């Protein structure tokens, strides 16, 4: 299969998005359960690259908890001490595998931000990991494989609609994903429904952050409009490469509407070409 229609685009009110291989080859992944959306796959594919590289670097099973295209936590599969089992709400007496410990640690790094996360595993998902996930609020999981028992457990989540994605562990991303972090760009696009953000105004922290080129897009009727304006000006003052699109009379939560997507794509290409 070389194309997959998704549940919807950025927001539920938009037409379905799709993923495909530009060269016409088969997709390196399979949806085993559920119907993921666009943001789900951004989380899944970014999280998968993180855990794959983490395992390559450490030689240990690795896991990540992603939310809104950002890692809420990442960890390797070191055994849990008794106090950590209590901290991470592990069932008493539960038999934990290394990959289960990795995900429990990753989610436990910030349980608040991990609420409704996307889980990623470097190794095959086993029953121990699935049993822990069963009682956590999560949107989906990506892994190179699943045991029969684990898959059966995961299919019971969210009234049978839990998203389960299997990825080819031998898949190698294209050249764009190989660009180093210092050439990457952060798109600060305030378009996702329910995603309220407060911009930092700490000039010293912004200077010390070695921030990548940053793209802003927001509407004049957004409740945070004045904060976005102020932070954009401050980012320029501290020397961060920036670009913005301000949508007149648009509110918060405009999704892919407003014509900003094409401009953002062109800007990204310019940024990446500078490396």
Give me the mean pLDDT over the 29-49 stretch. 93
pLDDT band at 274, cuts 50/70/90?
A: low
207, pLDDT greater than 90: no
Beta-carbon-side half-sphere exposure of residue 111 (alpha carbons within 13 Å): 9
Q: What does the pLDDT read at residue 194?
A: 34
The encoded tokens of residue 95 equal 């038999």
| Element at 230 (helix H, strand E) | helix 225-237
The encoded tokens of residue 14 equal 């938009």
Question: Could you read off the pLDDT of 212-263 as tens digits, one per residue?
Answer: 888 888 889 988 888 889 889 998 999 988 899 999 998 877 766 778 888 8
Q: What does the pLDDT read at residue 241?
A: 87
CA 62, 66, 71, 73 torsion-angle sign: negative
Q: What pTM was computed for the model?
A: 0.69
Q: What does the pLDDT read at residue 201?
A: 81
Region of residue 59 (left: phi > 0; alpha: psi -120 to 50; beta: else): left
Is residue 212 classed as helix, strand or coil in its secondary structure? coil
- Percent over 90 (pLDDT), the chain: 52
């Amino acid at each position: 299969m070389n194309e997959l229609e998704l549940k919807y685009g950025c927001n539920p009110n938009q037409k379905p998005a799709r993923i495909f291989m530009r060269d016409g080859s088969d997709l390196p992944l399979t949806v085993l359960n559920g119907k993921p959306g666009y943001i789900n796959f951004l989380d899944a594919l970014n999280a998968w690259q993180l855990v794959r590289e983490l395992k390559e670097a450490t030689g240990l099973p690795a896991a990540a908890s992603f939310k809104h295209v950002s890692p809420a936590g990442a960890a390797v599969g070191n055994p849990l001490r008794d106090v950590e089992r209590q901290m991470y709400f592990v069932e008493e007496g539960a038999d934990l595998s290394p990959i289960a410990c990795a995900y429990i640690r990753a989610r436990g790094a910030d349980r608040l931000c991990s609420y409704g996360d996307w889980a990623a595993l470097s190794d095959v998902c086993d029953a121990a990991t699935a049993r822990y996930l069963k009682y956590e609020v999560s949107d989906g999981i990506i892994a190179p494989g699943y045991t029969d028992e684990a898959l059966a457990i995961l299919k019971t989540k969210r009234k049978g609609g839990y998203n389960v994605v299997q990825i080819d562990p031998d898949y190698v991303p294209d050249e764009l994903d190989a660009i180093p972090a210092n050439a990457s760009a952060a798109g600060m696009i305030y378009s996702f429904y329910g995603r309220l953000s407060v911009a930092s105004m700490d000039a010293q922290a912004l200077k010390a952050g070695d921030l990548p080129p940053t793209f802003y897009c927001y509407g004049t009727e957004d409740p945070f409009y004045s904060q976005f304006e102020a932070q954009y000006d401050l980012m320029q003052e501290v020397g961060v490469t920036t670009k913005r699109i301000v949508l007149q009379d648009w509110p918060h939560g405009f999704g892919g509407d407003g014509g900003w997507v094409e401009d953002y794509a062109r800007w990204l290409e310019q940024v990446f070409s500078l490396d």
